């Protein structure tokens, strides 16, 4: 079952919405690159942060649900292994791994507060997401424009954005290959591709969604 949609609450703006800048257009280009590569999730960055207070601009209907650790890239896995409270920013399509559904492609922001669950250590070690309360949102267009304006002020460039997307696409494919190799199916998929049934990327993308749903 896909988890409930994270939606940012609308607030009254005190300043005009920024105009699209080069960071905005680079992110939009990145989304098209992801679609063409059958990739639905690219981590832009993840970093240790202050705890996120409940009841602010983010809401979540299932605060303990998140992507399985095995499908995340190394920087985020390291934060989880160290039990850090952190924030992640990702470029996402409408359907991420068949696990999270969004109303549109955009930047998704997740805040993950580290907690100490009153559960057996063996269970928590096997399911690291039990150590986190997750709140997040998908940025609507106006907030994406503001996000891009802030990103430019922080020193982002279009080249940095596009390189991160390219690297993220390769990371996504590498992780998917490893998951499939562990399941012993990569060779079978390659045979299917050789028969022109479908591209390997498309098959692996579909398999990844099915595997994420099974994990859930």
Instruction: List, for residues 170-198, the tens digit of each pLDDT value.
Output: 999 999 888 877 666 555 555 555 544 45
Least confident of 25-39, 46-60, 125-139: 46-60
pLDDT of residue 127: 84
pLDDT of residue 154: 95
| Residue labelled with tokens 């997740």 | 110
Close Cβ partners of 93 (under 8 Å, ≥ 6 residues apart): 31, 34, 35, 40, 41, 102, 105
Instruction: List, for residues 104-132, the tens digit of each pLDDT value.
Output: 999 999 999 998 888 788 888 888 888 88
Question: What are 61's two structure tokens?
Answer: 């209907």
The answer, yes or no, to whether residue 214 has pLDDT greater than 90, is no
pTM value? Answer: 0.76
């Amino acid at each position: 079952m896909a988890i409930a949609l994270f939606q940012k609450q609308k607030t009254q703006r005190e300043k005009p919405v920024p105009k699209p800048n080069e960071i905005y257009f680079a992110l939009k280009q990145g989304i098209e690159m992801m679609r063409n590569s059958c990739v639905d999730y690219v981590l832009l960055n993840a970093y240790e942060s202050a705890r996120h207070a409940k009841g602010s601009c983010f809401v979540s209907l299932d605060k303990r649900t998140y992507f399985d650790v095995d499908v995340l890239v190394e920087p985020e896995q390291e934060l989880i292994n160290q039990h850090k409270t952190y924030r992640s920013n990702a470029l996402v399509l409408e359907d991420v791994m068949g696990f999270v559904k969004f109303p549109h492609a955009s930047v998704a922001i997740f805040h993950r507060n580290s907690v100490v669950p009153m559960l057996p250590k063996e269970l928590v070690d096997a399911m690291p997401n039990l150590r986190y309360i997750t709140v997040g949102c998908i940025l609507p267009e106006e907030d994406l424009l503001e996000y891009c304006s802030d990103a430019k002020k922080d020193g982002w460039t279009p080249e940095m954005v596009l390189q991160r997307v390219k690297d993220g696409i390769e990371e996504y494919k590498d992780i998917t290959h490893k998951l499939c190799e562990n399941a012993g199916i990569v060779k079978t998929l390659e045979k299917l591709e050789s028969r022109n049934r479908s591209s390997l990327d498309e098959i692996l993308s579909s398999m990844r969604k099915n595997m994420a749903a099974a994990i859930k």
